[in-house]
Amino acid sequence: MVRFPTSITLRQLHYFLAAAECLHFTKAAERLSVTQPTLSHQIAQLEAQLGSLLFDRIGKQVRLTEPGRLLRDYANRAVRELEAGRLALSELGGMIRGDLRIGVIQSFSRTLLPSILGGFITAYPGIHLNIRELTGLEIEHGLAAGSLDLGIAFAPTTLDGTEVEPILEERLFLVVGRAHEFAARKRVKLFELDKKSMVLLSRDFLTRRLIDKYLDQVGAKPNVICETNSLEVMLGAIAESSVSTIISEHGLRIAPNRYRAIPLYEPTPVRTSALLWPKASFRSASARTFGQMMRDRFLSSGLP
């Protein structure tokens, strides 16, 4: 029978949750900036206190046991509630001091976020910012686990516990080199990309999955000769060649003049950027203020 002693510490819960998420003790220890023996000792101590094994260790594989899965759910809620209490207490100090943890997707962190950060840091120098560049799904998991206060990513999202607040809708453009067959066109129908050679983001990115969805709608199947996670690689591949790519509206700001950006239509592909919040969780003053600065910047102008 599982026993729940009163001597469980918050540190033990953090160590357990990291191991439960990674299912790899060495990776979990690296995430926590502790040694693997330290993490293993804390979890072994927790298992002894509970009187039940939390992990099955088969060779190098680690799996949660049934008691481990049960504890994970309660531990997540406990850690979130404690973090909410800490944030609520910090509100008493206003915006003079505190911490703000934000997860942001790559394209946003490089093009749209810097101007917001500068204004926030100037206005609230006492707030310690921790900005992490993550994938959309990693941001959602961070919000659910309480390790992030706010996320900036694309909609739609994956997890039910994520609240989505759209702030920016932008079109996706076909981008070609000056020697491309479409270079002189004013616009291109999506179905015209059928069988055309293209370089696109990898399918790990929501933008790529969104592009595929639009192409599927019109029955277009381009010849994707290269997949990458780098905008620079995409632009380099199309220079002076017959291949093309698709880039978002704000991504065009870093495209040199030797490329041509051409509107796509029938239908016009768009993507939506959003603030991501954890549902039913306390929102700190710093998170609310940062969110309002994002709204003021993008909702008022429509585009960056």
Q: What is the pLDDT of residues 26-44, one digit of tens each?
A: 888 888 888 889 999 989 9
Mean pLDDT throughout 156-181?
90
Mean pLDDT throughout 262-278?
94
Dig out the tokens for 188 from the structure. 């291109």
Strands 162-177, 244-248: pairing is antiparallel
pTM: 0.63
Tell whether the model's pLDDT for residue 194 goes beyond 90.
yes
Mean pLDDT throughout 56-62?
81
Q: What is the pLDDT of residues 218-248, one digit of tens each?
A: 999 999 999 998 888 888 888 878 899 999 8
Q: What is the pLDDT of residues 82-127, one digit of tens each?
A: 877 776 666 555 666 788 999 998 777 777 788 789 899 998 888 8
Q: What is the pLDDT of residues 200-214, one digit of tens each?
A: 998 888 889 899 999
Q: Does domain 169-271 have CATH number 3.40.190.290?
A: yes
Non-local (6+) Cβ contacts of 134 within 8 A are: 103, 104, 105, 142
Unique residue bearing structure tokens 């905008």: 231
Which CATH number describes the domain made up of 97-167+272-298?
Answer: 3.40.190.10
Dig out the tokens for 151 from the structure. 């996320």
C-alpha–C-alpha distance, residues 231 and 254, integer Å: 9
CA atoms within 13 A on the CB side of 112: 26
Q: Where are the domains of the chain?
A: 10-88, 97-167+272-298, 169-271
- C-alpha torsion 81→166→176→184, nearest 10: 180
DSSP bridge partners of 273:
154, 168
Tell whether the model's pLDDT for residue 301 goes beyond 80.
no
Mean pLDDT throughout 266-277?
94
Unique residue bearing structure tokens 């370089």: 199
- Residue 6's pLDDT band, with cuts at 50, 70 and 90, is low
The class (CATH top level) of 10-88 is mainly alpha
* Fold: same for 97-167+272-298 and 169-271: yes
